[in-house]
Amino acid sequence: MARADRPPATAALALLALGVVYGDIGTSPLYAVKETFNPAHGIALTDAAIYGGLSTIFWILMIVVSLKYVTLVLRADNKGEGGIMALLALASTAVREQPRWRAAVMIVGVLGASLFFGEAVLTPAISVLSAIEGLQLGAGGEDTDVVPMAAGVLVALFLIQRYGTGAVGKLFGPICAVWFLALAASGLWNIAQNPAVLAALDPRHALHFVTGYGIASFVVLGSVLLAITGAEALYADMGHFGRRAVRLAWFGLVAPALVLNYFGQGALLLRDPLAIANPFYLAFPQWALLPMVALATAATVIASQATISGAFSVTQQAVQLGFLPRVIIQHTSARTSGQIYVPVVNWILLAAVLAVVLGFGTSSDLAQAYGVAVMGTMLSTTFLTFFVVRFGWGLPLVLCALATGFFALIEATLLSAALTKIFEGGWLPLAIGALVFFVMITWRRGRALLAARLRQTSVPLQPLLESIMREPPVRVPGTAVFLAAAVDAAPHALLHNLNHNKVLHERVVFLTIEVADAPHVEPAQRIALEQLAQGFWRMTLRYGFMQQPDVAYDLTETSRRILPFDMMATSFFLSRQIIAPATGGRGAARWSARLFAAMVRNAGNAADYLNLPPNRVIELGTKVQL
């Protein structure tokens, strides 16, 4: 293999992973310690409390990130890919022979994905706000200056999404490497001045912290969990870099840097409790303050970019798996299929993020809302992982229950603590998650009802072909491709064409698009072809849930040897359903049917989504009552 063709080394991939995978959790030191020791929790800032808080942060990092994600969850990959939707597909496959669990797996998976969108709104807001707040210390900026500056940075970030992040992305890894080195250096400098802080490594301090202050011990856990925000990205972005690179980056740089910085902030608080005003920035020498504000802003922009890209990816996967209507998806890189831009998601996120920044104003206020979405997604991942290791890997029930139950207990406790802040902002991610969940479930159920209605009025394909062969209509030159949802039923577009035009093309292909439970389907396994009768073919194109369908390409290139197509002599017939609420008390609730009908009307064009030649498409409508 030539040197230019060799895949990147693990160390190089680990460097690139620093920005994409660890940008979010890497910026947690900006606010995690400050919020953990917030006097509003009712715990006095004594030495014992500082030791306990640091110990709790350390052990949660080790248990949730190192043990759960790095050791266990990274093994539950879906052919190399990770993320909540990939895990949902994997768990759904694992329980295929366990019908009693299918609905629960689907609901939890969709709920986790829905809460991720809540996290995608809060992450850019809290990250950029917390970075720019450092200017108040170094430049004497007024509070009112922070919000406009943060809003300006965020608007610029969302505006560049359409151009892709390939070129800028090459800088993400090196910038984050400098960021983590700066975190480690600050931590070492402060620990050296008060090495007694290392006593917090003793887990007994954590145990006392979470049990010794009454109700305050429980409430403060809602802030401690801020130290592990972004841990889900380890799994979600695994497919881009590989398991080994993600683990190397964590144990080689990220985890040591985070631990050193947290303990460094703790050492500062032991010396000067007044530093609780902003322990992250005050842990640096005065001359380094403004450079660190600039570096922190860059790091938070990178963390926000990773979350935005994750929202695009989850949207694409949800569309492919049938949980969201079609949306316009633009590929921003000819070489990297994972770099996509979803305009509708981009602008909705921008509007929501700006509203959050203007509404909350400070990172401390936003921190009250942040934990609910994070822990909800993590708990969903743990739940789905149980079914993968139990039914997919076939491990003993006791071992699976103990392993995932241990993490679920911790995460459920943290989630419960976060819910105590529901009236202080925690309602926001819940509202966003509930809205997205409602949309996903409505679309999924509506599609199922629509398919059932179409089956009731469908004509079996094989008998129809036999009647056509007995009394053939006029055949015209060229190829007709009829998109068919069911392989054994005649497409409604075919029936309309015969009824109104009284003709058929000399070659007719019934094309079905299938989405596999795997992220990718290789071109060699893409096409299945069967001849049904003279001049009639059934073709199936299979795609992974992370692949964008490209029917025109696959018909001209992939199928060239088995069934050649001339696009200029091919017509594509699509059935467009017009949804109307059923009368007489039948079908879905009217509000549900109306919402589904609105989603169908506003869904992206099927021809564009499947990449059909725009001047070769014919759409025929069918009215369906739900």
Q: Read out DSSP for 389-442? A: IIIIS---HHHHHHHHHHHHHHHHHHHHHHHTTGGGTTHHHHHHHHHHHHHHHH
> What average pLDDT does this structure show over 305-333?
86
> What average pLDDT does this structure show over 417-440?
90
Q: Could you tell me which residues come within 8 angstroms of residue 164 by beta carbon, excluding any fewer than 6 positions away?
A: 332, 333, 339, 341
pLDDT digits (tens, 9 = 90+) for 591-617: 777 888 888 888 888 888 899 998 899
Higher pLDDT, 220 or 592: 220
pLDDT score recorded for residue 333 = 64
Mean pLDDT of the chain: 88
Q: What is the distance in angstroms between the CA of the first residue and the CA of the last residue of the chain?
A: 58
In degrees, rounded to 5, the angle at the alpha carbon of residue 56 between the alpha carbons of residues 50 and 58 is 100
pLDDT score recorded for residue 168 = 60
pLDDT digits (tens, 9 = 90+) for 122-152: 989 988 988 888 877 655 544 458 889 999 9
Other C-beta atoms lying within 10 Å of the C-beta of residue 121: 24
CA 297 to chain centre: 23
pLDDT score recorded for residue 622 = 75
pLDDT digits (tens, 9 = 90+) for 450-479: 888 888 888 899 999 999 988 889 999 999
pLDDT at 5 over 60: no
Tell me the torsion sign for CA atoms 450, 451, 456, 459: positive
For residues 270 and 50, the answer to whether their CB atoms sit within 8 Å is yes
pLDDT score recorded for residue 588 = 57
Other C-beta atoms lying within 10 Å of the C-beta of residue 21: 28
Structure tokens at 491: 């497409």
For residues 613 and 569, the answer to whether their CB atoms sit within 8 Å is no
Tell me the C-alpha distance between 149 and 170, whole Å.
25
pLDDT score recorded for residue 328 = 87
pLDDT at 201 over 80: yes
3-state secondary structure of 460: strand
pLDDT score recorded for residue 141 = 45
Which residue is associated with the tokens 């990147």? 8
CB-based burial label for 498 (10 Å; 0-12, 13-18, 19+): middle
Structure tokens at 604: 């992206």
pLDDT at 3 over 50: no
Tell me the C-alpha distance between 27 and 134, whole Å.
13
- Name residue 302's amino acid: I
Q: How confident is the model at residue 173 (pLDDT cuts 50, 70, 90)?
A: confident
Following DSSP, what letter does each residue of 578-596 receive, concatenated?
A: EEE--STT-SS-HHHHHHH
> What average pLDDT does this structure show over 27-53?
93
3-state secondary structure of 522: coil
For residues 311 and 327, the answer to whether their CB atoms sit within 8 Å is no
> What average pLDDT does this structure show over 12-40?
88
pLDDT at 205 over 90: yes
Structure tokens at 155: 């608007």
pLDDT digits (tens, 9 = 90+) for 405-420: 999 999 999 999 999 8
Which residue is associated with the tokens 């049938």? 322
Q: How confident is the model at residue 586 (pLDDT cuts 50, 70, 90)?
A: low
Its pTM stands at 0.85
Domains within the chain, CATH numbers bracketed: 8-445 (1.20.1740.10), 457-625 (no CATH)
pLDDT at 1 over 70: no
